[in-house]
Structure 1
């Protein structure tokens, strides 16, 4: 089971129509809906399960500029401005705190890479610091290990994944958002080529525009419209501890393991050094597009063969208006955690910070990260289907960047000047001849 998430009530009235329907109650969909209703747009948010039940509540909770793809930096700058005022904006606790984010360099080669990123990021107004080994130990005097320094961004922060999207959803509802949970979308219908209505398990909703913010489910929703999105899923494993008398101050990554302090007094501990990718039919379908990123990250990706291949081959099909869909069968993705990952995470953090041993683990869970070949999202109109918009593929970077992504998506839906340059995030980059590549800085 995933972590406990703050509950949000659904709206009492099922809507017959809306100006915009947003599909997906994760933090991207919620942030988009909030930005729309703040502009007075009649908006419906549909979620097959409950708000933030999947990756939006299962991530690390980092709100970081540090080490991001340079193409994302204007958007994360906007997001961090929005995070700073988020509690006041929604009049609720999202858990956001400015604490800084620190990446310890595992080698001189990585320290040089961090230095290059720091130099590049300055042109975007981001002032990160390179730390010497002595300065790193000033931040973490308990640290054991040979690290030649680190990279620190003092204005980065953290928020609580189990609180943030629900708080934003409640604020949007106070402004008129109609939220329908346990309401799966079966199909998106068109009239004269234009989006005209969304067919849900509870009935049809007429609309002029649809935003698909379905995370790991987005590819399947688009497939039902004859649109191909090269998207794969990667499993990340996370644990939280009971409240303990230890605070690293900043969110810290040591490469092999990472941690942050939680609002409840515990730690969230995870690793990006090893993630699990189940082999599925889409793994084969998109292997050529993902191969450059996979080859670069081959030591960090553990391929796993198992029942998911047959499950997705047999049952993961686009929905039909008059039949029960896969979205109604699997309300919430509960991926099976790799059995060895949690002991590995626990042992690694205890070796680096011996005072944490034995680590008082309270809970562990897995979450499915929706990934694209270049590891940056699509935030874009889908030109082959007028009235359709897409916000997905955040590749593990979505939580921190969500406020800005929601605002940018609303800008595009409303056909107003975008808050930041949307060109890097266009859907058409996969078909217009651009060389698709990922940037790796961490």
Structure 2
């Protein structure tokens, strides 16, 4: 299935022999990191195996939200919101960012109480959260038939266009001197004297002092290549893009049955509010123990299935020599087919519950692979085993909105600056140092 059209970014023809930093991965996290580094006059090369933003960075919902974040992400997301507000001016480009508000429906009193308690995490961020009653929800969505007692509304949250954002950031990074290399898979890293000394790509070697692994759903495979344990799995989320429809709601709206946000072209991006599909693959068994607590928590929202992905990943090489093609060269873009059954159900529920959108017409459907970690918060961290290696991955479906802030924090670690927020919760070592993996609930 073809994915969404992404603003094209043409990669550099020439491979640099040496830079200070190599960023692996051309999604929004990798691009934001490269921009932050290049703006400081530090030489950086961004290596992407396919095209800039062609995987989950262009396939997500396009929400820029502080609402209902894991409390450990709130400070970083607040920083990201501040960056989004000035991002188009900084990039000299249009990302489609707009502050339009996000509404999370509360189906019952318990959910209302939980989100009311969560809203206290917004205190001190400088951004607003309001608890709406039924009348308040009706003012935002006139004529709606959604069952509920109220909602959490965050008027400072917003939206942007995933197919525009990562390319715009990459082009800005290039203007500041970054090398943008597409169809240039990194096969592995090299070390000298116990620390990072370079990478080997399919087009040749690049010497460097620091490597940032921001490979999204591919990060675990790359980590395994050099002996690091990163328990990461993929979740398939199916999204519908509609034709433009005049007069629809401006605010994004989440319910268990559907999640919508208005697009810049006047259409909507639509997905299930809670259902996603998980292919059973070999890593499902490798990481089963790590994900068991999360599976218990999310059991009702995950649809496990056995498909050809099991055999595709079973046959995928786990170890390869740096002078031979890597798995990243055999799969430039993860482009899994969306669930037509699931998206049809979502559309049916949407049209019943939001009559104002009853006339929506489907323009496209796509599937996106969300890279998830057991505690659903990312790794943004130095890797002690390899001085000079920094990870920024595992954003668990939260990466688009938090991207600019995550890029700034990652760059802080690379450049040895004072971190914009405390990165302790995002440390890589939490999976191996005996720390209890915490699954946050009730938000």
Fold shared per TM-score above 0.5: yes
Moved more, 183-192 or 66-75: 183-192
| Greater than 3 Å deviation, 4+ residue runs | 123-126
SS at match of 1:52: coil
Give the Å deviation of 1:126.
Answer: 4.0
Partner of 2:250: 249
Moved more, 181-190 or 314-323: 314-323
Q: Is the 8 A contact 2:67 2:154 kept in 1?
A: yes
TM score, norm. by length of structure 1 = 0.98
Partner of 2:236: 235
Partner of 1:130: 131
- The reply to whether residue 12 of structure 1 matches residue 2 of structure 2 is no
Structure 1 Cα separation of the partners of residues 102 and 263 of structure 2: 14
Alignment of 1:18-417 (within 5 A): 18-417=19-418
SS at match of 2:340: coil
After superposition, what is the alpha-carbon deviation per residue over 1:172-191, rounded to whole angstroms, capped at 9, x for unaligned? 11110101100111111111
Give the Å deviation of 1:431.
Answer: 1.8
Structure 1 Cα separation of the partners of residues 390 and 370 of structure 2: 20
After superposition, what is the alpha-carbon deviation per residue over 1:65-89, rounded to whole angstroms, capped at 9, x for unaligned? 0010111011001000000000000
Q: Is the 8 A contact 2:146 2:354 kept in 1?
A: no
SS at match of 2:299: coil
After superposition, what is the alpha-carbon deviation per residue over 1:284-327, rounded to whole angstroms, capped at 9, x for unaligned? 11112111111111110000112111211111424421111111
TM score, norm. by length of structure 2 = 0.98
Structure 2 Cα separation of the partners of residues 272 and 209 of structure 1: 39
SS at match of 1:370: strand
Structure 2 Cα separation of the partners of residues 103 and 273 of structure 1: 12
Structure 2 Cα separation of the partners of residues 272 and 145 of structure 1: 13
Structure 1 Cα separation of the partners of residues 112 and 320 of structure 2: 48
Structure 2 Cα separation of the partners of residues 249 and 142 of structure 1: 15
Q: 1:441 to 1:67 in 2, by over 3 A?
A: farther
Listed as ranges, the gaps of 5+ residues in structure 2 are none
Q: Is the 8 A contact 2:74 2:121 kept in 1?
A: no
Structure 1 Cα separation of the partners of residues 273 and 231 of structure 2: 22
Q: 1:340 to 1:259 in 2, by over 3 A?
A: same
SS at match of 1:297: helix
Compute the RMSD of aligned alpha carbons: 1.2
Q: Is the 8 A contact 2:217 2:370 kept in 1?
A: yes
Q: 1:79 to 1:120 in 2, by over 3 A?
A: closer
Partner of 1:427: 428
Structure 1 Cα separation of the partners of residues 439 and 317 of structure 2: 28
